Structure 1
Amino acid sequence: MSQRSYRTAIVGTGAIANAHAGAVQAAAERASLAAVVDVDAGRARAFADKWGVPRVFASLAEMLLEEEVDVVHVCTPPQQHASLAKQCLAEHVTVLLEKPPALSLAEMDDIVAAERRSSARVATVFQHRFGPGAIRLRRMAGKAELGRPLLATCATQWFRDEAYFAAPWRGSWENEGGGPTMGHGIHQFDLLLSVLGPWREVTAVASRSARPTQTEDISMALVTFDNGAVASVVNSVVSPREVSALRFDFEHATVELEHLYGYTDADWRITAAPGHDDIAERWTAEKSEVPSGHDEQLRAVLDALDAGQPPPVTLDDTRLTMEFIAALYASAFTGERIQRGQIGPDSPFYQRMDGTGAPWAEVSIA
């Protein structure tokens, strides 16, 4: 496979943009940053100076008109993600789209339709899929080396104080699309879904318990999967002892991951069932020091582009995760069990994640 050098641009220069710039820099033999876009000219220039980016633009449209780029990294606040992705696709430019990729299933399907009309592709940033431990787990699970998946737990218990929500786009359905389910726990349960495969049904609760937001600050879900596995999913921004944790109980081994914002092999633990000690031996035989993160996902995206294949994570993959979020909210706000495929264009939860409205919508937090 021949490698080429890809010209890239970053739209939005908030904190997460630095992870993207660092990933491009780490792949310097394969990619370069040609331009940066931000409505705040001073912030854009400071970011460009920091990362050695030659050109700065105030709008994506202007950049696409003047620069020939292969990949655009969309790092803006969430409410702009769908429209910016569609602009890039209209110009046949591939997009690396930060989470959440859209604010609703309706927006998600608009992006899918735009991709079908384009020669370019969209990859969603779910960087936790790309650590060596996650790749190894999916491979071993896919080959049935661990036996059948039976039970899993997934917890994103983080802490965000009231000052965090001072940014005007945070904590609102219109601007962020949801609370910790949409913007925080999405990384962990996306990794869960990437291992266990298609989910079948969701039963959930959500509450706004402490933060002055429109959205929830806690959600919990019970999930069943097509393969018969069951899982619990917890998402929180009110937990002083922060943790991101996943546990998978297979027939022949328990596989656990505990970290916060990224992991290495040191954060995984394997406990083999009696008579299956070889599983732990096979796992540790591939031990790696490579961390999960944007660097590894960008390398995987570039590999796919070199091979002429859709870059991971595809829109089909992403839609399964977004549909799970919509189902969680629908279950939490209606009290019903929600099955995959149930939320269609006629559902209020297709158009907005809060659907029929959060039960606390008219109640303020003292």
Structure 2
Amino acid sequence: MRVALVGSGIAGLSHALDIVTSPELEFTAVCSRTRSRAAELAGRFGVPRVFRSVTELLDAECCDAVVVAVPPAATLPIVLACRERSLRIMAEKPVARSASELPLVEEVSRGVLAPFNRRYLAHVREAVEAVHGGAIGAIRQVDARWVGPYLERYAPGAPTYRARAGRRQGLLVDTGSHVLDALSWVMGPVRPLPGCRMEFNARGAEVGFDLLMRNGDGATASVRAEGKGGEERWEIRVTGDRGQATLGPDTAEVRAGTRRTRLAARPVRRPVDDLLIGWRGEQVWGPSPAELVRLSETLVGVYDLVDADARTRWLRPRFKPWGRLNGSC
């Protein structure tokens, strides 16, 4: 299968490594608005063709599949253009950030694969399957914690698009889409509850968040992402009425009564392999079209809830003079 890559940043490099190490994929082209970066990446992996625009890439008819690794604001239009050419598509975070984008996600969801990372960790997948099989009983509570250099990642001098990210372009749609996908994978569809909070930088990009969620069975989830130095670290703790499962990047553990099963990390499955697996009609590891749409609905719901709460908290109370706000004077 001939594969082209759109995007030459950090995510693009990661996918490029996956493409060249897959024996059944042929890396045929790199496309980026910054031609010099595209040429550098192509030269590194011996890719024969470089394009500056998606239109040029598609008109060249040099690929059977496209991997899209661009900033979230640019993802959906590129996916739609590739879909119109009947190409197989894998895209980083093809999700909506506002209600106006939800119809577009619904339109492209059946033609795109989304490589949300936790699903491709074999030890995490085995633990989630054990939870789904009833190993810890009915899920009652999920606690997820992400810690990483998020303040630096969105700082003005950062070396990626994040240095320019603004409102609804920050941590929630970036890392948070992976977090919420993992959450809904574990406990089914979730919806945000009042009490969700975000931390913003000067440009309005989210650099931290605290979320409260609930699924259809009444199980609740607490999700926290905060900016601290060092490498990103994460943990998901799932509490059931008969045990507990803990998921992490290096290990997973399932405990029920006196029985404890510890699962060590194993080689990560390449997300791009889903392009071949899906083409063969086999089950991919990424989210289904319905899950992708629900993830977008959850993201938009969180954004809207936080925005509405902010407007409510800063409204001037009626019938009170200026200076006597919310009974503070």
Taking structure 1 as the reference length, the TM-score comes to: 0.76
The 1:307–1:219 alpha-carbon spacing in structure 2 relative to 1, beyond 3 Å, is same
The 1:160–1:199 alpha-carbon spacing in structure 2 relative to 1, beyond 3 Å, is closer
How big is the shift at 1:311? 7.6
Which of 316, 330, 340 is residue 290 of structure 2 equivalent to?
316
SS of 1:270 mapped into structure 2: strand
Partner of 1:24: 19
- Asked if the contact 1:223–1:230 (Cα under 8 Å) also holds between the matched residues in 2, the reply is yes
How big is the shift at 1:310? 7.3
Which of 57, 68, 74 is residue 80 of structure 1 equivalent to?
74
How big is the shift at 1:37? 0.5
Which of 189, 195, 208 is residue 186 of structure 2 equivalent to?
195
Distance 1:289 1:58 in 2: 37
Distance 1:303 1:186 in 2: 23
- Asked if the contact 2:142–2:239 (Cα under 8 Å) also holds between the matched residues in 1, the reply is yes
Which of 267, 270, 273 is residue 257 of structure 2 equivalent to?
273
Partner of 1:240: 229
Distance 1:10 1:272 in 2: 44
Distance 2:98 2:26 in 1: 32
The 1:108–1:308 alpha-carbon spacing in structure 2 relative to 1, beyond 3 Å, is farther
- Asked if the contact 2:4–2:28 (Cα under 8 Å) also holds between the matched residues in 1, the reply is yes
How big is the shift at 1:163? 7.1
Which of 166, 171, 178 is residue 165 of structure 2 equivalent to?
171
Consecutive unaligned residues in structure 1, runs of 5 or more: 1-5, 336-353, 360-366
Distance 1:71 1:311 in 2: 18
Partner of 2:245: 255
Which of 259, 274, 277 is residue 303 of structure 1 equivalent to?
277
Partner of 1:133: 123
Match of 1:233, as an amino acid? Answer: V
Distance 1:139 1:53 in 2: 38
Partner of 1:218: 208
Partner of 1:184: 175
Which of 158, 168, 183 is residue 148 of structure 2 equivalent to?
158
Distance 2:81 2:180 in 1: 29
Match of 1:57, as an amino acid? Answer: F
How big is the shift at 1:224? 1.2
Distance 1:79 1:320 in 2: 19
- Asked if the contact 1:36–1:57 (Cα under 8 Å) also holds between the matched residues in 2, the reply is yes
How big is the shift at 1:254? 1.4
Partner of 1:7: 2
The 1:357–1:11 alpha-carbon spacing in structure 2 relative to 1, beyond 3 Å, is farther
The 1:301–1:140 alpha-carbon spacing in structure 2 relative to 1, beyond 3 Å, is farther
How big is the shift at 1:309? 6.5
SS of 2:229 mapped into structure 1: strand
The count of aligned residue pairs is: 309
Q: Does 1:333 align with 2:307?
A: yes
| Bigger shift: residues 51-60 or 102-111 | 102-111
Distance 1:124 1:40 in 2: 24
The 1:39–1:217 alpha-carbon spacing in structure 2 relative to 1, beyond 3 Å, is closer
Distance 1:149 1:142 in 2: 9
The 1:323–1:66 alpha-carbon spacing in structure 2 relative to 1, beyond 3 Å, is same
How big is the shift at 1:26? 2.2
Which of 22, 33, 39 is residue 39 of structure 1 equivalent to?
33
- Asked if the contact 2:120–2:285 (Cα under 8 Å) also holds between the matched residues in 1, the reply is no
Distance 2:49 2:246 in 1: 44
How big is the shift at 1:184? 1.8
After superposition, give the CA deviation of every residue in 1:206-226 in whole Å (9 maximum; x if it has no partner): 2436x3221332221211111
SS of 2:142 mapped into structure 1: strand
Consecutive unaligned residues in structure 2, runs of 5 or more: 315-329
RMSD of aligned residue pairs (Cα, Å): 2.7
Which of 82, 89, 92 is residue 86 of structure 2 equivalent to?
92
Match of 1:239, as an amino acid? Answer: K
SS of 1:208 mapped into structure 2: strand
SS of 1:192 mapped into structure 2: helix
Distance 1:124 1:82 in 2: 12
Moved over 6 A (4+): 308-311, 356-359
